[in-house]
Amino acid sequence: MTTSVDELRARVSSLMGQAREDLAELVACKSVADPRQYPASECIKAAQLVIDKFTEAGLRDARLEEMPDGHPAVYGHIPAPPGAPTVLLYCHYDVQPPLDPTGEWKSPPFQLTERDGRWYGRGTADCKGNVVMHLTALRALQGELPVGVKLIAEGAEEIGGGGIEQFVPEHADLLRAETIVIADAGNFEVGSPTLTTILRGIANVVVRVSTLEGPMHSGMFGGPAPDALLALIGMLATLRDARGNTTIHGLDCDARWDGVDYPPEQFRADARVLDGVELLGDGRIQDMLWSRPAVNVLGIDCPPVVGSTTAVQAQASARVSLRVPPGIDAKLAQDALVAHLQAVTPWNARVEIDREVDAQPFVARTDGPAYAAISGALEEAFGRPTTTAGQGGSIPLCNALRDTYPDAEIMLLGVEEPQCLIHAPNESVDPREIERMALAEALFLGGYSRTGR
Q: Quickly list DSSP for 339-362.
A: HHHHHT--TT-EEEEEEEEEE--E
Strand order in the sheet with 428-429: 113-115, 118-120, 428-429
pLDDT reported for residue 115? 97
pLDDT reported for residue 451? 44
Task: Please check whether residues 144 and 46 belong to one and the same domain.
Answer: yes
Task: Please check whether residues 38 and 183 belong to one and the same domain.
Answer: yes
- Give the domain range for residue 164: 5-199+361-447
Task: Please check whether residues 129 and 226 belong to one and the same domain.
Answer: no
Task: Please check whether residues 351 and 397 belong to one and the same domain.
Answer: no
| Active-site annotation holds for 158 | no
Q: In the listed set 301, 330, 359, which residue is the last one of a domain according to the structure?
A: 359
Q: Domain containing 97 — which CATH number?
A: 3.40.630.10
Candidate list 69, 154, 157, 417, residue with the active-site label: 157
Q: In the listed set 359, 393, 417, which residue is the last one of a domain according to the structure?
A: 359
Q: Domain containing 322 — which CATH number?
A: 3.30.70.360
Candidate list 42, 69, 94, 358, residue with the active-site label: 94
Closest CA to 429 of 66, 150, 183: 183
Task: Indicate whether 383 belongs to any domain.
Answer: yes
Task: Indicate whether 85 belongs to any domain.
Answer: yes
Task: Please check whether residues 325 and 193 belong to one and the same domain.
Answer: no
Task: Please check whether residues 206 and 195 belong to one and the same domain.
Answer: no
**For helices 396-404 and 163-170, angle between their N-to-C axes, nearest 10 degrees:** 10
pLDDT reported for residue 2? 67
Output the pTM of the full model: 0.85
Task: Please check whether residues 233 and 303 belong to one and the same domain.
Answer: yes
Task: Please check whether residues 47 and 146 belong to one and the same domain.
Answer: yes
pLDDT reported for residue 236? 98
Strand partners, 203: 358
Task: Please check whether residues 129 and 243 belong to one and the same domain.
Answer: no
pLDDT reported for residue 453? 44
Please report the beta strands in 286-339, taking only residues with DSSP state E, as ranges in sequence order.
294-301, 311-312, 315-324
Q: In the listed set 359, 390, 414, which residue is the last one of a domain according to the structure?
A: 359
What is the rounded distance in angstroms from the CA atom of residue 199 to the CA atom of residue 195?
11
Dihedral of the alpha carbons of 283, 284, 290, 294, in degrees to the nearest 10: 40
Pairing of strands 148-154, 216-217: unpaired
Task: Indicate whether 453 belongs to any domain.
Answer: no
Q: Is 254 exposed, middle or buried (0-12, 13-18, 19+ CB in 10 A)?
A: exposed
Task: Please check whether residues 190 and 208 belong to one and the same domain.
Answer: no
Task: Indicate whether 270 belongs to any domain.
Answer: no
What is the rounded distance in angstroms from the CA atom of residue 105 to the CA atom of residue 115?
13
The secondary structure element, H or E, covering residue 49 is helix 40-56
Task: Please check whether residues 105 and 166 belong to one and the same domain.
Answer: yes
Task: Indicate whether 120 belongs to any domain.
Answer: yes
CA angle 25, 27, 33 (to 5 degrees): 120
Task: Indicate whether 267 belongs to any domain.
Answer: no
Per-residue pLDDT of the chain (453 residues; tens, 9 = 90+): 567 899 999 999 999 999 999 999 999 999 999 999 999 999 999 999 999 999 999 999 999 999 999 999 999 999 999 999 999 999 999 999 998 888 999 999 999 999 999 999 999 999 999 999 999 999 999 878 999 999 999 999 998 778 999 999 999 999 999 999 999 999 999 999 999 999 999 999 999 999 999 999 999 999 999 999 999 999 999 999 999 999 999 998 999 887 778 999 999 998 999 999 999 999 999 999 989 999 999 999 999 999 999 999 999 999 999 999 999 999 999 999 999 999 999 999 999 999 997 788 999 999 999 999 999 999 999 999 999 888 877 788 999 999 999 999 999 999 999 999 999 999 999 999 999 999 999 999 998 864 444
* Number of independent structural domains in the chain: 2
| Active-site annotation holds for 430 | no
Task: Please check whether residues 188 and 220 belong to one and the same domain.
Answer: no
Task: Indicate whether 250 belongs to any domain.
Answer: yes
- Beta carbons of 133 and 441 less than 8 angstroms apart: yes
Helix/strand/coil (H, E, C) string of 148-163? EEEEEEECCCCCCCCH
Task: Indicate whether 287 belongs to any domain.
Answer: no
